[in-house]
């Protein structure tokens, strides 16, 4: 990105950044005062209602990836690119019944790590922790980097400053307010994102009709309209499974399953999926308009902001800036909170200090959040571009965890041999495929191999798990 291409003057960028930072931190401090113990801090008192629950499920899943990558996918892979992206909402739809089951089996559970430890024992738990921490940390790093890069491209704010501010703000309000602050801000952020996407979408359509877009694509980029575009359809299920694995395994989603009030979980995740579902098309189609509007796109990942700024000028650039900032914050905060809870509960409380008081645990969780923020900041500062691509290695890892989790929740015959072997074999084969064939088969192969292994082990196993072992008393 060259500096001249910034869409907003830095002063406007800083002003917007300051306004929203103050808002989020203020809300974090305000909501944080409700939290007395670790349970309040990590799980918001286990009493989240339907409105906040649905909004947080959707908002957390709307990352900068959704609002920025959807246009990029549309430009590279066409209509299929957008449609395929909407399937990521299946992760939320399918997690809905699982969330109810998790709440029922583990009424006092805290984290997904608790599940692995109680269900499959220490070995499976250790592998799970390595996989999920790898995934969570690379995701944190890639989002903080994306934040710095996007703020720089949109407003010319230097990369290091933009990244520092966005990360610092999220750390500050997550530390102070815990999950309550994360979920409360998620509600506001999801409304802002939805309104922003709708306004921008209709504004673009008032400048160029769908017929014009279609005509231009047919003339200059016909493959984008091709129903059988190989590059677009071969990755559909790979990406779908990546999404499923992300939602099923990560403590971001499990902590919400524990935090939602009894009976809310299933509905909230299903509604969250419905809210999320149209976003990739609504945010992505503007990229297809770039040709008809005669917008030159120097790099595929900037197509969204460029088209919007071309059509709407400074107002559009401000709208995009706010939408991007909200989508980044709504995911960064969730990941910070969930990962810090995982480390606090699974490592500190269960391994090191079983007798820690609730108050002490809450303090510990806050320090872990701060430490995670500092770690992410230190890794992001040099801006090593290839770092973000490490996230793709996580595909096989999360894919290999799908079957152990699903069968572990529903089948008494699922066992540790199946889970450990499924995760290791699946991830191994997936990574080999990643290098030998390509990224677009890695998650698919990992999930398929792990499925075969897990099914074979459960079929041969005589053990029957006693569900009561999952509801350990805190």
On whether the CB atoms of residues 282 and 85 are closer than 8 A, the answer is no
| Backbone angles phi and psi of 414, in degrees to 5 | -65, 140
Find the binder of other proteins among 23, 223, 356, 424 (CB under 8 A): 223
| Backbone angles phi and psi of 260, in degrees to 5 | -70, 145
Chain residues 17-56 in contact with other proteins, contact rule CB under 8 A: 44-45, 47-52, 54-55
Q: Where are the alpha helices (DSSP H) in 87-158?
A: 90-105, 112-120, 122-155
d(CA 305, CA 67) in angstroms, rounded, equals: 10
| Residue 97 is a binding residue for other proteins (CB under 8 A) | yes
Chain residues 240-269 in contact with other proteins, contact rule CB under 8 A: 240-241, 244, 261
Find the binder of other proteins among 238, 334, 369, 417 (CB under 8 A): 238
Minimum CB separation of residue 49 from other proteins in Å reads 5
Minimum CB separation of residue 210 from other proteins in Å reads 4
Find the binder of other proteins among 1, 133, 160, 281 (CB under 8 A): 281
Q: Which is nearer to other proteins, 84 or 129 (CB)?
A: 84
Find the binder of other proteins among 448, 453, 457, 470 (CB under 8 A): 448
| Residue 456 is a binding residue for other proteins (CB under 8 A) | no
Q: Which is nearer to other proteins, 368 or 419 (CB)?
A: 419
* Number of chain residues interacting with other proteins (CB under 8 A): 96
Minimum CB separation of residue 46 from other proteins in Å reads 10
Chain residues 298-337 in contact with other proteins, contact rule CB under 8 A: 298-300, 303
Minimum CB separation of residue 427 from other proteins in Å reads 15
d(CA 307, CA 77) in angstroms, rounded, equals: 17
Calculate ∠ Cα 424-342-262, nearest 5°.
105
| Residue 293 is a binding residue for other proteins (CB under 8 A) | no
d(CA 347, CA 130) in angstroms, rounded, equals: 12
Exposed / middle / buried, residue 134 (Cβ in 10 Å: 0-12, 13-18, 19+): middle
d(CA 119, CA 97) in angstroms, rounded, equals: 19
Collapsing DSSP to helix, strand or coil, 260 comes out as strand
Residue 65: alpha-carbon gap to chain centroid: 8
| Residue 444 is a binding residue for other proteins (CB under 8 A) | yes
Q: Which is nearer to other proteins, 126 or 225 (CB)?
A: 225
Tell which residue, 105, 128, 35, has the closest CA to residue 347: 128
* Stretch near other proteins under the rule CB under 8 A, chosen from 70-78, 125-133, 345-353, 425-433: 70-78
Q: Which is nearer to other proteins, 161 or 237 (CB)?
A: 237
Chain residues 398-417 in contact with other proteins, contact rule CB under 8 A: 402-403, 406-407, 409-413
Minimum CB separation of residue 371 from other proteins in Å reads 28
Q: Which is nearer to other proteins, 146 or 282 (CB)?
A: 282
Find the binder of other proteins among 19, 130, 234, 384 (CB under 8 A): 234
Tell which residue, 286, 289, 294, has the closest CA to residue 70: 286
| Backbone angles phi and psi of 48, in degrees to 5 | -70, 130
Based on its alpha-carbon atoms, the radius of gyration of the chain, rounded to whole angstroms, reads: 22
Residue 45, H or E segment: none
Residue 411: alpha-carbon gap to chain centroid: 28
Instruction: Spell out the residues 6+ positions from residue 386 whose beta carbon is closer than 8 angstroms to its own.
Output: none
On whether the CB atoms of residues 317 and 7 are closer than 8 A, the answer is yes
Collapsing DSSP to helix, strand or coil, 355 comes out as coil
Chain residues 165-194 in contact with other proteins, contact rule CB under 8 A: 180, 183, 187, 190-191, 194
d(CA 89, CA 240) in angstroms, rounded, equals: 9
Residue 121: alpha-carbon gap to chain centroid: 27
Minimum CB separation of residue 144 from other proteins in Å reads 26
Tell which residue, 279, 285, 380, has the closest CA to residue 327: 279
Q: Which is nearer to other proteins, 214 or 350 (CB)?
A: 214
Find the binder of other proteins among 144, 165, 167, 236 (CB under 8 A): 236
Q: Which is nearer to other proteins, 372 or 454 (CB)?
A: 454
Find the binder of other proteins among 3, 228, 352, 354 (CB under 8 A): 228
Find the binder of other proteins among 226, 363, 461, 471 (CB under 8 A): 226
Q: Which is nearer to other proteins, 244 or 343 (CB)?
A: 244
Find the binder of other proteins among 296, 351, 352, 382 (CB under 8 A): 296
| Residue 274 is a binding residue for other proteins (CB under 8 A) | yes
Minimum CB separation of residue 135 from other proteins in Å reads 19
């Amino acid at each position: 990105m060259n500096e001249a291409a910034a869409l907003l003057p830095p002063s406007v960028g800083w002003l917007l950044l300051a306004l929203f930072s103050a808002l989020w931190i203020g809300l974090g401090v305000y909501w944080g005062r409700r939290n007395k113990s670790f349970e309040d801090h990590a799980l918001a008192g286990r009493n989240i209602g339907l409105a906040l629950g649905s909004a947080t499920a959707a908002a957390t899943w709307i990352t900068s990836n959704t609002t920025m990558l959807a246009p990029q996918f549309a430009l590279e892979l066409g209509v299929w690119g957008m449609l395929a992206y909407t399937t990521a909402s299946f992760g939320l739809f399918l997690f809905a019944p699982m969330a109810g089951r998790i709440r029922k089996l583990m009424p006092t559970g805290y984290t997904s790590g608790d599940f692995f430890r109680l269900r499959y024992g220490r070995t499976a738990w250790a592998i799970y922790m390595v996989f999920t921490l790898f995934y969570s940390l690379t995701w944190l790093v890639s989002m903080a980097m994306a934040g710095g890069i996007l703020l720089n491209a949109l407003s010319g704010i230097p990369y290091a400053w933009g990244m520092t501010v966005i990360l610092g703000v999220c750390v500050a309000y997550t530390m102070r307010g815990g999950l309550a602050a994360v979920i409360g801000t998620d509600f506001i952020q999801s409304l802002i994102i939805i309104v922003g996407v709708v306004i921008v979408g209709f504004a673009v359509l008032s400048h160029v009709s769908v017929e014009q877009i279609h005509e231009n694509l047919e003339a200059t980029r016909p493959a984008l309209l091709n129903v059988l575009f190989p590059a677009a359809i071969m990755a559909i299920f790979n990406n779908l499974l990546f999404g499923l694995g992300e939602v099923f395994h990560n403590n971001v989603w499990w902590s919400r399953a524990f935090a939602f009030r009894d009976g809310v979980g299933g509905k909230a995740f299903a509604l969250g999926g419905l809210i999320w579902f149209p976003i990739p098309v609504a945010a992505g189609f503007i990229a297809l308009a770039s040709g008809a509007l005669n917008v030159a796109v120097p790099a595929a990942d900037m197509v969204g902001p460029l088209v919007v700024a071309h059509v709407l000028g400074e107002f559009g650039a401000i709208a995009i800036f706010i939408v991007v900032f909200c989508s980044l914050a709504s995911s960064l905060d969730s990941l910070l909170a969930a990962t810090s809870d995982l480390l606090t509960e699974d490592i500190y409380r269960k391994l090191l200090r079983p007798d820690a008081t609730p108050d002490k645990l809450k303090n510990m969780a806050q320090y872990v959040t701060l430490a995670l923020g500092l770690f992410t900041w230190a890794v992001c500062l040099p801006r090593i571009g290839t770092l973000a691509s490490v996230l793709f290695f996580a595909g096989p890892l999360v894919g290999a965890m799908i079957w152990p989790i699903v069968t572990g929740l529903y089948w008494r015959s699922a066992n540790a041999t199946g889970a450990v072997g499924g995760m290791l074999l699946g991830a191994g084969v997936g990574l080999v495929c990643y290098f030998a064939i390509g990224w677009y088969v890695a998650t698919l192969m990992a999930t398929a191999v792990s499925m075969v292994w897990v099914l074979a082990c459960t079929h041969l196993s005589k053990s029957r798990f006693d569900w009561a072992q999952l509801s350990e008393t805190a």
